[in-house]
């Protein structure tokens, strides 16, 4: 059983710097991308420069 941890995901969306929080079991790129796809749908293709760190 994996532990879920709250992370902050920092990224650029269409040139604009943004951040969101997500509860993930790891920082694997597939999990991070899935979380961002849920938030942004079709706009996911405009996301660049993704960085993930633990939320305080």
Instruction: Tell me the pLDDT tens digit for each residue of 1-48.
Output: 568 999 999 999 999 999 999 999 999 999 999 999 999 999 999 999
pLDDT of residue 9: 97
In sequence order, the 6+-apart residues with CB closer than 8 A to the CB of 7 are 21, 22, 23, 24, 27, 32, 52, 53, 54, 55
- Whole-model pTM? 0.87
Q: What is the pLDDT of residue 28?
A: 94
Q: pLDDT band for position 53 (50/70/90)?
A: very high
Check the CA dihedral 32-29-8-22 and report its sign: positive
Reading the block at residue 12, the tokens are 């650029």
């Amino acid at each position: 059983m994996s532990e879920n941890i709250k992370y902050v995901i920092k990224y650029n969306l269409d040139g604009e710097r943004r951040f969101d929080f997500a509860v993930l079991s790891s920082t694997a790129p597939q999990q991070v991308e899935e979380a961002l796809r849920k938030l942004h749908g079709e706009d996911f293709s405009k996301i660049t420069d993704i960085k993930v760190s633990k939320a305080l």
